[in-house]
Amino acid sequence: MVAFSARESEPGSGLFRIGYSLMTPQSTSPDADASWTDFQELTFPQRIATAGRAVVAVDFGEEIPVADAPFQIVSDGDYLYVFRQSKDAGVYVDRFVLDEATGRLYNAWQVRFRRSGKADIPLDRRDTFGSTDMNGEKFVEPTIQLDFLPPVVNGSFAVALVPGELPSMSRWQFFLHNRDTGGLVGYSILRSANGLFDLADRIGEDGVIEPDQDFTLVSGSGAPLPVGHGPAALLYHQQEQLAQDGGAIALQKREARFMLAVTAGSGGQVAIVDLGVAKDATLAQGPDELTVAAAPKPVTALEISASCPVHADLPPVQINGPYTLELWAALTSAGTGLEPGIIVSSAPETGPLTIALVDGVPVYTAGADAAVTAADPIDLEVWTHLAATWDGTNAVLYVNGVPHDEPTDPVAPADPPAKGYRLGGKSSVTARIEQLRLWQRARTREEILAAMCTTVTSADPDWANLNGYWPMDAPAADARFTTVPNISRLSGADGTLSGTRWVPGSTLAASSLAPRSWDDRGLTIATGLLEFTTLAAAPWLTEGADSLVHLYGVAPPDGTMVAAHLSTVVARGAFQASWLAADPDDAENDEAGTVGFVARQTGAAVNPATSKNPPVTIAQDGKGHVAVTLRGSTGYTERWPKVPQELEALCQVLNGEAAQKGDVPAQEARSRPIYDYKAVVVTPAGGQLGPVPAPGTGSSLFAAIPDEGSSNGRPSLVTPTSAAPAVLGRAGTDPCWLPAPPPAGLDLSESGQFVEVLDEQQVGDYDGSLAADRDMAVEAWLRPGSDPSGDPMTVLVFNQPEGARYLLGIDGERRPYAVNGPIAARVDTPLTDGAWQHLAASYQSSFGIRLGGERYLDAGNDRSLDTPEALTAEVWVRLDEPPRPGQSQTAIARWAPRGGQSWDLGVDPDGKVRFSVQQSTATGPVRRSVVSRTALTPGTWHHLAGVYDVQFERQVAVMFTAGS
């Protein structure tokens, strides 16, 4: 890691020099600063050339003067590019390379004619190319002047490298403050083979390079928002939850986006412009005027946990009669697995209301003989809407607006509240809860769909029936530690926290980055005005490894450092239609399934508002064909006539995998269906333009994903939605801004104050996530007060006599320290009284390589690894799952295909350890193997050692298990 800054060359001189400090991978001191080198000034070239005409350079004879203004750093993995503002408001760029041996940055070199010192003209016939002149001096690459950019004032420009679909293609993207219009202007320049600038595809006939972007910003009301400071730029990726083999959920980087941040308007609020990235590395095109409406404020959710008996109690706002209870939940686990996982329950006097998960399937209990179940388990780590209605006779459970009334056994909570309602408690699920509402009547499916993705206000015609509304927005000040605010018409209906906590939520009812325009490639430009963040200088953006985009800046009037964080985790709305493989001879042989319609655009906008204009409509269109109508959130519509009704063919057509009718020879059409994409009727709306359906493109709204299809030998025919409506299978969610640093904290200024999460007895029996006895990290925001006593302060302590033991604290001299078991570390720099500071302590117990069954690490062909005679091979191994039948797993091995000794230490299909050695002898290869008597236990670390000696005697493969 290299950190750059500008420092005065001499104190008081006012002359600043750009330099750097390098973080080395080794450190001999627990002091965090011990791994950073001293500040070193960069040395810049004395020659200058112009982009596109680099063969002609001017020698200044001294370092080229530049403006005292902010600078930009970009790395491509090979070079570090330093972009500076020139004295005449231009932009210079210089390249440096890191010498890891010396820990220094050096100017990039050039190849020139060694005698003439020029890149294009030799001195004579004897002149040859080289990286040094005849005296052995390196040819330093000149400073490059980017004269195609307009004038820059006070360093108000941003630059980034944007990769394309092909590894060999990338583009330089520049954005500058347009002082004439008060907006932003952007230039996209192809990156040349040598890493610099290829202007050939941008120079017009008049020799001028025109900008790709030139726009101004206006507020939601249409008022101008002139740019103040910035821009800052960042290329990042939105991330989505994807199911892995075995059901595990993992984040995967998907859509690339390009974010700009500026201060805008007289208030200095931060405006965000977020652009889609095309396959050729260009950015989304938009109008000359972009609307930047206020983004929703950061929201919270209430977390209930299966690992601790925590809960939140709500008052008995509904006693008897019909009702509807609805909420959004994002589950991390469905419970302990031994009994139903409780989401919400009620006191007996309130009515036996319980919503729980049984083997992951939602179950709603409305009485001793009134319980209904959904059909399938709900997905983890995605937001799901649950609504339970009771009309006095019938119970109905809605999952994402889909009704379920299949009777099942009732579920009774382990610890119902004495009165009112309870979220969590014993046998709870682990989940985030938002938008909990309790209506005093049974609402219809249409009403549930209409309100599930919106907030409810007093303007709602059904407001008088909303007895309880807990949106789960954390209150301010000390109330955040005790209170669940209710905002319905009833006063005194706040809930009470008992160990549950507020966590970042998701803006399910509004978009943090609302799409404002679409280009003809389907790329979007989204915007948002952060009214909760005001800055006095240019913001700074960075993408973290924590799935967040971090925005930092300096707030007026005292220059306090502030931060805002955007969660890049999103979800695409997915709808499910049905198919049927009917057997006319035997109805019991019929098979049915679903086809998914996954939105191309991420976010909550695709979630349905009503069922009158559903996103997916399928109607019969002649024998063997259907008409498919797809609707977007803007009103943009695609009507696909005469689509094959067979499942696989329908998906191929909608995904652009069919051949265009009349354009493909008959022999090619045998492997894929033929469809007339020109017959698709597109109705643009809301600024959305396309792209128009075509081969290789398909629908711009949805991708069609089939399941496995039928196995009964009958065709799988997609069912018209008049008989089986398409239902929301997964809700779409947007990136959302998170509240940080905390707006309120615990006041522990009095000596002896503390908060006890688990008492001494509970700690001894506790086996939840806090019992971190291996890799872990502890972090906290602190604002120490003045303490003349000089006593040490404990921030967090976990002390399990026979298990995990760790502590984060501050010693008597205000120096932070951390302890994990026998390991301790301390920072020598004391904290500052009265200021918010962030502490983080991490402990890593071991390192390993994770292998997925096919990947491997090749140690190379180093002769030092040859083992011609005796050997001992040992390794620590943890199987994540039992070996598959018939498949052995190798832990460590050596192959010698041309003779010599080969050996393999691994696990057989039955889970037993095997050690095999093949030795070349005069009479041919001899192979010997030994196998352990017991199998390895998945999920447990085992030490394996295989021993072989030159006398060819049988040895034992020893397995050391934990605790023996």
Average pLDDT over residues 487-494: 90
Structure confidence at residue 282 (pLDDT): 96
Tokens 């950073």 -> residue: 36
Q: What three-state secondary structure class fits 605?
A: helix
Cα(650)–Cα(704) distance, rounded to whole angstroms? Answer: 8
Q: What are the two backbone dihedrals, phi and then psi, of residue 317, each rounded to the nearest 5 degrees?
A: -75, -15
Q: Range with the lowest mean pLDDT among 275-279, 284-288, 780-784? A: 780-784
Q: Which residue has the higher pLDDT, 749 or 632?
A: 632
Asked if pLDDT for residue 31 goes beyond 50, the answer is no
Asked if pLDDT for residue 676 goes beyond 90, the answer is yes
Instruction: Specify whether the CB–CB gap between 9 and 16 falls below 8 A.
Output: yes
Cα(896)–Cα(927) distance, rounded to whole angstroms? Answer: 13
Average pLDDT over residues 214-243: 93
pTM of the predicted structure, to 2 decimals = 0.74
Asked if pLDDT for residue 760 goes beyond 80, the answer is yes
Asked if pLDDT for residue 249 goes beyond 80, the answer is no
Asked if pLDDT for residue 479 goes beyond 90, the answer is no
Structure confidence at residue 262 (pLDDT): 97
Most confident residue range from 226-240, 288-302, 742-756, 838-852:
226-240
Structure confidence at residue 393 (pLDDT): 92
Cα(633)–Cα(514) distance, rounded to whole angstroms? Answer: 12
Beta-bridge partner residues of 495 = 484
Q: What is the pLDDT of residues 59-92, one digit of tens each?
A: 887 888 899 899 999 999 999 999 999 999 999 9
What would the two tokens of residue 159 be?
């630059």
Instruction: Specify whether the CB–CB gap between 410 and 365 falls below 8 A.
Output: yes
* Other CB atoms within 10 Å distance of the CB of residue 207: 7
Asked if pLDDT for residue 30 goes beyond 50, the answer is no
Structure confidence at residue 33 (pLDDT): 46
pLDDT band at 461 (very low <50, low <70, confident <90, very high): very high
pLDDT band at 958 (very low <50, low <70, confident <90, very high): low
**Residue ranges of E strands in 463-520:** 466-470, 483-484, 495-498, 501-504, 514-518
What would the two tokens of residue 573 be?
């709305």
Structure confidence at residue 186 (pLDDT): 96
Q: Which residue has the higher pLDDT, 111 or 945?
A: 945
Structure confidence at residue 246 (pLDDT): 65
Asked if pLDDT for residue 127 goes beyond 80, the answer is yes
Q: What are the two backbone dihedrals, phi and then psi, of residue 667, each rounded to the nearest 5 degrees?
A: -65, -30
Q: What is the pLDDT of residues 191-219, one digit of tens each?
A: 998 899 999 888 887 888 999 999 999 99
CA dihedral sign, ordered 34, 39, 45, 51: positive
Q: What are the two backbone dihedrals, phi and then psi, of residue 475, each rounded to the nearest 5 degrees?
A: -75, 170
pLDDT, averaged across the chain: 87
CA dihedral sign, ordered 378, 381, 383, 388: positive
Cα(340)–Cα(362) distance, rounded to whole angstroms? Answer: 10
Structure confidence at residue 348 (pLDDT): 82
Q: Which residue has the higher pLDDT, 734 or 335?
A: 734
What would the two tokens of residue 11 be?
């104190």
Average pLDDT over residues 689-693: 85
Beta-bridge partner residues of 326 = 387, 437
In the chain, what percentage of residues exceed pLDDT 70? 92
| Run of H or E including 330 | strand 323-333
Average pLDDT over residues 280-299: 91
Structure confidence at residue 957 (pLDDT): 59
Q: What is the DSSP letter of 244?
A: P
pLDDT band at 29 (very low <50, low <70, confident <90, very high): very low
Structure confidence at residue 610 (pLDDT): 65
Cα(138)–Cα(134) distance, rounded to whole angstroms? Answer: 10
Cα(557)–Cα(197) distance, rounded to whole angstroms? Answer: 41
Residue whose C-alpha is closest to residue 347's, from 300, 303, 315: 315
Q: Which residue has the higher pLDDT, 341 or 671?
A: 341
pLDDT band at 363 (very low <50, low <70, confident <90, very high): very high
383-390/395-399 β-pairing: antiparallel
Q: SS in 3 state form for 683-721? A: ECECCECCCCCCCCCCCCCEEEEECCCCCCCCCCEECCC
Q: What is the pLDDT of residues 587-627, one digit of tens each?
A: 999 999 999 999 998 888 888 666 677 899 999 999 999 99
Most confident residue range from 171-175, 415-419, 504-508:
171-175
Instruction: Specify whether the CB–CB gap between 803 and 762 falls below 8 A.
Output: no
pLDDT band at 28 (very low <50, low <70, confident <90, very high): very low
> Identity (one letter) of the amino acid at 888?
S
> Identity (one letter) of the amino acid at 514?
A
Asked if pLDDT for residue 743 goes beyond 50, the answer is no
Structure confidence at residue 615 (pLDDT): 92
Q: How far is CA 587 from the centre of its chain?
A: 46
143-145/47-50 β-pairing: parallel
Cα(875)–Cα(607) distance, rounded to whole angstroms? Answer: 50
Asked if pLDDT for residue 744 goes beyond 50, the answer is no
Q: Range with the lowest mean pLDDT among 163-172, 306-315, 783-792, 795-804? A: 783-792
Give the chain's end-to-end CA distance (angstroms, integer).
43
Average pLDDT over residues 255-265: 95
Instruction: Specify whether the CB–CB gap between 617 and 628 falls below 8 A.
Output: yes
Average pLDDT over residues 120-139: 84
Tokens 């995605």 -> residue: 382
Structure confidence at residue 739 (pLDDT): 64
Q: Which residue has the higher pLDDT, 530 or 25?
A: 530
Residue whose C-alpha is closest to residue 302's, from 334, 337, 328, 339: 328
Q: Range with the lowest mean pLDDT among 475-479, 907-911, 921-925? A: 921-925
Asked if pLDDT for residue 34 goes beyond 80, the answer is no
Most confident residue range from 336-340, 751-755, 877-881:
877-881
Structure confidence at residue 704 (pLDDT): 96
Structure confidence at residue 740 (pLDDT): 56
Q: Which residue has the higher pLDDT, 137 or 658?
A: 658
